[in-house]
Amino acid sequence: MSNLTPGEPAKAQSGGWGETIRVIVEALLIAVVIRTLLFQPFSIPSGSLIPTLLIGDYLFVSKYSYGYSRHSFPFSAAPFSGRVWAGEPQRGDIAVFKLPKDNETDYIKRVIGLPGDRVQMIDGRLRINGQPVQKVADGTVDDRDAFGRIARVPRFRETLPNGVSYHVIEREGDRGYFDNTVEYVVPPGHYFMMGDNRDNSTDSRDLQSVGYVPFENFVGKAQVIFFSMEEGTPAWQVWRWPTDVRWSRLLQKVR
């Protein structure tokens, strides 16, 4: 039953433009809070983590896993240094971090060396603190060779000292540029990061380009693939989704 009295004009139930703007602002603030404190989406533009992550994967990174630094905020704008509510990265985590060289570019790699660790590659075999990491041949996968051509490359299962196990590939066998290195000693408060595509990854083995990553530069831990498109297909081309979405990768946990 209406509460209007005879002759009383009906009032609009909507708040008009003011109400619309308020809702938009609130939605934006909620999105900023979620992106800053909880989860941030990232896309994979390179093949350095093949076969774990593919070009065209879209994933959520948990910002709270390692606590918060100035790099947890948009444009690294927070006015403080160090980390608050810190949770230390674990060996084997796949993490997003700001490239130490410019503190701006987002990189994503696997945590291999912890502070104080000695890390070395000898004939394509990873060694941590003088001990070879278990590495077992496990078939082949498709990847691109040095000339960009599709080729079958060897795949291996690597198991770190803490039991974390994952696949790596060796495009150039044991003859890659970083398959034999000096022994790296990870400084306090830093981490040694590597890609799973061992012969096609610019990572901590390259001290000039990446090097050791300060804990402060960590953005978050990769958690789940929420979308994935074939390489070269933009996500906005929805008419190509039926054939180009990698349906089997959706909601796949990142390990």
Q: Across the chain, what does the average pLDDT equal?
A: 88
Residues with catalytic function: 48, 109
What CATH number should be reported for the domain holding residue 170? 2.10.109.10
The count of other CB atoms within 10 Å of the CB of residue 155 is 18
Checking if the pLDDT of 21 tops 90, the result is no
| pLDDT, average across residues 2-6 | 42
Residues contacting residue 147 through CB under 8 Å, at least 6 positions apart = none
The answer to whether position 21 is within a domain reads no
The answer to whether position 10 is within a domain reads no
Provide the residue range defining the domain that includes 127. Answer: 41-77+84-253
Predicted local distance difference test score (pLDDT) of residue 12: 42
Q: Are 52 and 72 in contact (CB under 8 A)?
A: no
Q: How far is CA 121 from the centre of its chain?
A: 23
* Torsion over CA: 28, 55, 135, 215 (sign): negative
Predicted local distance difference test score (pLDDT) of residue 245: 96
| pLDDT, average across residues 231-246 | 94
Model confidence at 23, pLDDT cuts 50, 70, 90, reads confident
The answer to whether position 190 is within a domain reads yes
User: Which of 73-82, 104-113, 222-231, 242-251 is the least confident region?
Assistant: 73-82
Query: For residue range 50-70, what is the model confidence (pLDDT) as tens digits?
Result: 999 999 999 999 999 998 888
Q: How far is CA 37 from the centre of its chain?
A: 16
Query: For residue range 120-135, what is the model confidence (pLDDT) as tens digits?
Result: 999 999 999 999 999 9
Predicted local distance difference test score (pLDDT) of residue 145: 76
The answer to whether position 20 is within a domain reads no
Percent of the chain with pLDDT over 70: 88
The C-alpha atoms of residue 50 and residue 145 are separated, in whole angstroms, by 13
Query: For residue range 163-189, what is the model confidence (pLDDT) as tens digits?
Result: 999 999 998 888 889 999 999 999 999
Written in H, E and C, the secondary structure of 35-84 is HHHHEEEEECCCCCCCCCCCCCEEEEEECCCCCECHHHCHHHCCCCCCCE
Checking if the pLDDT of 9 tops 60, the result is no
The answer to whether position 89 is within a domain reads yes
Query: For residue range 66-124, what is the model confidence (pLDDT) as tens digits?
Result: 988 888 877 777 777 788 888 899 999 999 999 999 999 999 999 999 999 999 999 99
Model confidence at 162, pLDDT cuts 50, 70, 90, reads very high
What total number of domains does the chain contain? 1
